[in-house]
A and B are shown apart, each in its own frame.
Chain A
Amino acid sequence: MHRWRVVFSRAWGFLHKGRLDDQLQEELQAHLDQLTEENIRNGMSGEDARAAALCEFGGVEQTKEIYRQQRGLPFLDVALQDLRFALRGLVKRPGFTIAAVLTLMLGIGAATAVFSVVDRILFRSLPYPHDDRLVSFGLLAPIERDEFTLGAGYIDFRKELGPFEAITSMAPGTTDCDITEQHPVRLNCALVEQTFLPTFGTEPLLGRNFTADEDRKDAPLVAILSYGLWKSRFGGNPDVLRKTISLDGKTAQIIGVLPARFEMPTLRSADILIPLALDEAQQRKTAPGAVLRTFARLKPGVDVRQAIAGLQPWFELAISGAPPEFRKEIHLSVRPLRERQTSDARLASWILLGAVFAVLLVACTNVANLLLARATVRERELAVRAALGASRGRLARQSLTESLLLGLLGGAAGCGLAIILIRVFVSIAPEGIPRLQQAGLDVRVGAFALLVTIAAALIFGVAPALYRPSTEIMMGKEQIGARRGGSLRQILVVAEIAISIVLLASAGPLLRSLWKLQNAPTGMETENVLTEQISLGSYNYKEATQQFAFFTDLEARLKRFPGVTSVALSDSIPPAGQMRSTILAAVEVASKPALAEGTGGPVGWRAVTPDYFRALAIPIIAGRGFRGEDRLPGENPIILGDTLARELFPGESAVGKQVRLFKTPDGPWRTVVGVAANVKNDGLVTNGDPEFYLPWKNDPLINLRAGYVIVRTRMNPKSVASWMRSETASLDATLPVSIETMSQRVGKLTERPRFNAMLLCLFASIAVLLAAVGIYGVIGFLVVERTREIGVRLALGATPQSILKMVMSSVARCTIVGAMLGLLGAWFCTRLLESLLFEVRAHDPVMFGLAIFALVAVAICAAWVPARRAMRVDPMIALRYG
């Protein structure tokens, strides 16, 4: 118990040092005075009495010292003393300090900024309690990359949960829904089951969740608002629970508000949750039923593998209801929610994190080099301190304090840099990096920065701390030539070179792949083409005829504009995916047997007007394109993409053949009127799926509610865009539209790889820059140190060229060893990049060669200046004053 008393009392003593010192002085003085008086009383003279008193007392200063150590917190006293000393040292050498702090700022700032971005992808828990037990489960099919289940199967499964504690489902994606009262707006509505919020462990901020009765067909409509919508539309007023909104013309009672930090498991933004109202009878009737996204919470202690095993019986049952051609290609899948959300961003995140740590390591090596160089300069001072009795531990501690102070300064500057970098990342980053908008410098990222700073300080501080001054220097025995510590510094340079090469060799293939990707042929001409995306509200445009009328009206208006060469309508546009999709097995060819088994893989299709091929300059390689009359109701033409034509009619001409689509026995036979050249229709990386085109017309098969207007023009796209906007507004002023040039649309597809390549290049160049500075510093220092030796050599007849050779050869040694290590590292690291590359091999000898060449060039340049200085050493001056 009295331990705490002692600690408290020591802390008190530490804080009130001055006053307590005075008191102690007074007390001891009084004691001495009394002793002296006593001695005088016993007959001694004044002088003797005082001397005897001091003798009896036994060392006033020692007593004080022991007393002070006992009273305060001696380690803290020493730390403060070290700190003061370190601070003085840093202020005294502003050049060194600024160089070290800037270097650290680059390293720590970059690391912190990247961490704040990838933290949310890789580490930070999702905003649901026990998020590690949340999974996405269901089926995976060739045409669907995320888990789904089908309505009827889901209803069966819902009855017994198997390995799950809770399961829930929602409609895929979000649907547009309009608030149709005053100030109408277009919103995203998510249709979710009543179990949705409980499964994710989320309670509404206000109000309540749906009840089971409300999650039924024909139940009165209820809605839960997102926090954002509540704030923006209802001013955060809690009275909102008594209000109704009219959604697509239907009145919905507001029953709850979601908490601010809630997000959809699909990471899409949703403004309103409304009940999914899955109707069992209807799902059974239309079996297999509607496509659903399904999520679950695992029972405690159950892992993903056990869950898959537990789901097997259900899976057998579920696929028995699926169309036979699908069965073989469907898999069961259970994935942790985080993996579903961040699947393709994870690898890039790890790579960026690795790169930025490599940069930090180079920065640390540089600072270690600076500190070591300084330690050599301060050798005399350190030797004096050692000779005066400073223990080795004490000197090491002093040196570490300095490193830590330096680190903290660099870390603080780094945090500033990180804030700027995060802003830059957010502004230049492409869409689809999960949770990027939330990245920022919060407590967690701050703690990371502090941790990294301390770790960095230990890394770069340990070598100088172990540096031991030789006491020989006190005896005037100065060595000629390089002193100890030189080899350690060269090792550090080797490390810098190696890391830089790894980074360069990794950034290279990414850049090259980006270049290839940007120049990859898309199968169309994207210059001078404008696209306008339009999605009609289901309330204002209920009937297909209304939707059809809108688009044809707009088409006619746009055609009138001078300078417009062609105007086309389509329900989707390449090269981004999102086209409608079926399977090869669903395309029947007249007088040919159906596909033996399997789905044959996905086949995409879109509905287009005749001008589509002209607007995008997609060549028709056989037959003809669509004509105006193909848009008439009775006509059933079809145009095949080249790949699909070859698959369906190998070795013969497709034109004039008959096909029937979508497995509809009573559907029309369609005549192939033409074959169009392939275009990329699923991003730039893959060649895409085979595809076919149907004429865009008023047909139940074709989605007329949302589509694209494609305009090819000879004029300035900007002015055409504003004119398109005004033409659209004159038809319907409330309609939200987005107009982009086709080049912008294609450019978006390279944004992710560009972002990755750009960051990696940035980090690689920082590393190379730091390495160059490091080499310059070390060689420069080497030359200064060896000035006397060089002077002797020159005096004994060495030529300046041989001196140059001597200096450069030490650079060459470091570079060669560094390059070899770097190559080895690059060999392992670039393999990780493989899946991010497009038409470029990770182990690309050209790239490796370029990386080495670049670094050798940088090393030679960095060493050149100090090496020249070495050549010009004047032996007289060197020997006299060196």
Chain B
Amino acid sequence: MKPAHGEVLQGTLDLMVLKTLEAMGPLHGYGIAQRIQQVSKDLLKLNQGTLYPALLRLEQRGWVRSKFGVSENNRKARYYSLTAAGRRQLKTEAARWERMAGVITGMLAGTEGA
């Protein structure tokens, strides 16, 4: 199954998760979802379930590690946190994204100017 709503592309979801974890520290899945929604000011329609395969993928690559802990409402919850490798990955990904965004922005501006 592909991500249902095309709004969130796979690479970008990874980047968002990594960035969220960097900004917020260890967080559980629900927390990450809330944070992403909040930051995107609800413009982004995140299908929250897709977060979990993404988290697994990041964990398998060693960018994220998880630990069981107790959540705010006293429930057992799985907390994800960024590893050193994850931090490096975030940096390169962010840089790449910015380059890409710059290119696209420039292109759009150019087209408008023509």
A and B associate in one complex: yes
Bound Cα distance A67, B56 (Å)? 7
Contact of B53 (CB < 8 Å), options: A6, A26, A60, A63: A63
- The answer to whether A9 and B49 have CB atoms under 8 Å apart is no
- The answer to whether A58 and B77 have CB atoms under 8 Å apart is no
3 interchain residue pairs of minimum CB distance = A63-B49, A58-B47, A9-B60
- The answer to whether B56 and A60 have CB atoms under 8 Å apart is no
- The answer to whether A27 and B78 have CB atoms under 8 Å apart is yes
- The answer to whether B57 and A70 have CB atoms under 8 Å apart is yes
Contact of A27 (CB < 8 Å), options: B1, B53, B62, B77: B77
**Separation in Å of the B55 CB from the closest CB of chain A?**
9
A650 interface residue per 8 A CB criterion: no
Bound Cα distance A71, B50 (Å)? 14
**Separation in Å of the B33 CB from the closest CB of chain A?**
7
Give A1-59 interface residues, CB cut-off 8 Å to B: 2, 5-6, 9-10, 23-24, 26-28, 30-31, 33-35, 37, 56-59
Contacts A57-B48, A58-B49 given; does A70 touch B78 at CB 8 Å: no
Contact of A35 (CB < 8 Å), options: B48, B50, B73, B75: B48
**Separation in Å of the A20 CB from the closest CB of chain B?**
10
Contacts A58-B50, A60-B49 given; does A31 touch B30 at CB 8 Å: yes
CB-CB nearest in chain B for A31: B30
**B12 contact set on A, CB distance < 8 A:** none
- The answer to whether B50 and A63 have CB atoms under 8 Å apart is yes
Bound Cα distance A67, B54 (Å)? 9
B67 interface residue per 8 A CB criterion: no
- The answer to whether B49 and A59 have CB atoms under 8 Å apart is yes
- The answer to whether A66 and B48 have CB atoms under 8 Å apart is no
Chain B interface size, as a band, is 20 to 34
Bound Cα distance A26, B62 (Å)? 23
Give A281-326 interface residues, CB cut-off 8 Å to B: none
**A65 contact set on B, CB distance < 8 A:** 1
Contacts A27-B52, A31-B33, A35-B48 given; does A62 touch B1 at CB 8 Å: yes
Instruction: Mark each residue of chain A from 503 to 530: 1 if its CB lies under 8 Å from any CB of chain B, else 0.
Output: 0000000000000000000000000000
Give A584-636 interface residues, CB cut-off 8 Å to B: none
**Separation in Å of the A336 CB from the closest CB of chain B?**
55
- The answer to whether A31 and B48 have CB atoms under 8 Å apart is yes
**Separation in Å of the A291 CB from the closest CB of chain B?**
75
CB-CB nearest in chain A for B59: A9
Bound Cα distance A517, B111 (Å)? 99
- The answer to whether A30 and B50 have CB atoms under 8 Å apart is no
**A67 contact set on B, CB distance < 8 A:** 52-53, 56
B114 interface residue per 8 A CB criterion: no
**B53 contact set on A, CB distance < 8 A:** 63, 66-67, 70
Bound Cα distance A10, B59 (Å)? 11
- The answer to whether A66 and B1 have CB atoms under 8 Å apart is yes
- The answer to whether B77 and A30 have CB atoms under 8 Å apart is yes
**Separation in Å of the B84 CB from the closest CB of chain A?**
13
B76 interface residue per 8 A CB criterion: yes
**A6 contact set on B, CB distance < 8 A:** 60-61
Bound Cα distance A30, B56 (Å)? 17
Contacts A58-B4, A59-B49 given; does A26 touch B76 at CB 8 Å: yes
- The answer to whether B49 and A5 have CB atoms under 8 Å apart is no
- The answer to whether A62 and B77 have CB atoms under 8 Å apart is no
**A37 contact set on B, CB distance < 8 A:** 73
Q: Other than A65-B1, A66-B50, give 14 A-B pairs with Cβ distance below 8 A.
A: A2-B60, A5-B60, A27-B28, A30-B28, A30-B75, A31-B28, A31-B48, A34-B30, A34-B73, A58-B48, A58-B50, A59-B47, A59-B49, A63-B53
Give A749-768 interface residues, CB cut-off 8 Å to B: none
- The answer to whether B61 and A2 have CB atoms under 8 Å apart is yes
Instruction: Mark each residue of chain B from 27 to 62: 1 if its CB lies under 8 Å from any CB of chain A, else 0.
Output: 011100100000000000001111011001101111
Bound Cα distance A6, B29 (Å)? 21
- The answer to whether A30 and B60 have CB atoms under 8 Å apart is no
**Separation in Å of the B95 CB from the closest CB of chain A?**
19
**A34 contact set on B, CB distance < 8 A:** 30, 71, 73
Ordered by A's residue number, 24 sampled pairs between the chains whose C-beta atoms are within 8 Å are A2-B60, A5-B60, A5-B61, A5-B62, A9-B59, A9-B60, A24-B52, A27-B52, A27-B77, A30-B28, A30-B30, A31-B29, A31-B30, A31-B48, A34-B71, A56-B48, A57-B48, A58-B4, A58-B47, A62-B1, A63-B49, A63-B53, A66-B1, A70-B56
